[in-house]
Amino acid sequence: MKLVGERRALAAVTFAFYFLSYLIVGLLGVAGELSPAFYALAGVYGLAFFALVAGYFWARWYAVGVGLYGVITSAAGLWQVGAEPVLLFLGGTHLVAVILLWGSSMSETYDGQTAWREKLHMDENAVQRLGRSVIRAGVSLPLVLLYALAPKPGGATLALSVGALVLAAFGLRAVVKARTWGVVALGTAGALMLTAAGADLLAHHDALALRASLGGALLVSSATPFFAPMLRFLSFAR
């Protein structure tokens, strides 16, 4: 499937639509105490749109991750409440965006370029690891944002979730710049999120905490592709 420019444009329009939708909901105040979370989600989709249009090498990975987040969220909603038209639209549009961005022809426009690989001194295996990490982080970031910015009664879980959010955001930025501390930050963010969401699940059996647990697990998994190379490097350094 070619039509790379057309596919990129349609995917970008999808993310722009959700950016505007979440932003308008936040501005209108209809979400109440969840307004900060909607602003944050608008930022997630706005970044996906801007990165795709700007042509950043990591944009396709990140956008695929955000698209998969939408698919997972709609699937969970369909399982809970049934075939609601809004959920079908949400899942369908996100799935289409993921499909549009998939494939080697689309990869050539973004992560397939050689300039950034030479700049960061990355071979094909390293590129594959980075891609998996960014996709998983793209899926988990909205889940972490929603949980961290949603109203919570417990101060301890609030501190843990906000700490996880900060580490995840800066860790993702560091990982795409090939900084080792970014891997540690993502793994730590995942551990914090799992701790906070686990405590919340035991106390309140909250569905949002269950999704946050998934986000924490994905953050940990986004760091795991780099663990083996890091251990090999440490062993060689000794």
Convert the pLDDT of each residue in 159-213 to its tens digit. 777 788 888 888 888 888 878 888 888 888 888 888 877 777 776 666 667 777 8
Locate all alpha helices (DSSP H) within 82-179, ordered by sequence. 85-101, 104-107, 114-120, 124-149, 155-176
Closest by CA to 196, choosing from 227, 188, 225, is 188
**Mean pLDDT computed over 116-121:** 85
Report how far apart, in Å, the C-alpha atoms of 227 and of each of 166, 173, 177 are: 21, 18, 17
Closest by CA to 222, choosing from 178, 171, 177, is 171
Q: Structural domains in the chain? A: 1-112 (no CATH), 121-238 (1.20.1270.360)
- The pLDDT confidence band at residue 155, using thresholds 50, 70 and 90, is low
Of residues 200 and 121, more confidence is placed in 121
CA–CA gap between residue 88 and residue 84 (Å, rounded): 6
Residue 97 burial (CB count, 10 A):
28
Q: Is the pTM of this model over 0.85?
A: yes
Of residues 157 and 19, more confidence is placed in 19
Confidence at residue 71, expressed as pLDDT on a 0 to 100 scale: 94
CA–CA gap between residue 218 and residue 158 (Å, rounded): 20
**Mean pLDDT computed over 120-141:** 87
